[in-house]
Amino acid sequence: MALKLPQSMNECLYFSNRFIGEKGHAFAWVYRKLCPKCKKVKMGKPVEKGKVKLRAKEYTCPACGFTEEKTVHEESLMLEAQYTCPECGKKGEGTTQYKRKAYQGIPSYLIECQHCHAKIPITKKLKEKKGVSSIGDEEDEDDG
């Protein structure tokens, strides 16, 4: 399959570098899409007064001005990943639709291991499974 790694963050719409469990690791990205109308420039969020509009609900082409709704645009993209499977420990690569799905109660992008077919979740930072306590919630034992 041999996925092409991004050379710069400017090529990516999404980028993540996560540790998964004790021995798993995932390096995932989504390339920006070429404008479907002019096919010259990659689309991005609209720029107003020299600044990118962060919470924009659409993506625009800087060359021709074509606009596409955010949900339609993002569902047409593919997430690519290189990973070390937390189940079998083998390295691999995979692709999936750029859409989060609930996995063990956490919205995640799911990659399937090409060796053992385990699901590898790529979650947002600091998200934990439901029912798992956070680090500071443990009770200290007194010695005396």
One-letter amino acid at 11 equals E
Task: To the nearest 10°, report the CA torsion of 7, 12, 53, 77.
Answer: 160
The confidence score (pLDDT) of residue 21 equals 82
One-letter amino acid at 45 equals K
Q: What is the token pair recorded at 126? A: 């600091």
Does pLDDT of 144 surpass 80?
no
| Confidence category of residue 137, pLDDT binned at 50, 70, 90 | very low
DSSP 136: G
DSSP codes of every residue in 35-98: PTTT-SSB-BS-EETTEE-TT-SEEE-TTT--EEEHHHHHHT-EEEEEEE-TTT--EEEEEEES
54 has which bridge partners? none
Q: What is the token pair recorded at 72? A: 């339609």
35-61 residue pLDDT tens = 988 988 999 888 888 888 888 899 999
Q: What gap in Å lies between CA 11 and CA 9, rounded to an integer?
A: 5
80-129 residue pLDDT tens = 999 999 999 999 999 999 999 998 888 999 999 998 999 999 988 766 66
Number of Cβ atoms within 10 Å of the Cβ of 79? 22
| Structural contact between residues 88 and 115, judged by C-beta atoms closer than 8 angstroms | yes
pTM (two decimals): 0.77
> Can you tell me whether residue 122 is helix, strand or coil?
strand
Q: What gap in Å lies between CA 109 and CA 87, rounded to an integer?
A: 17
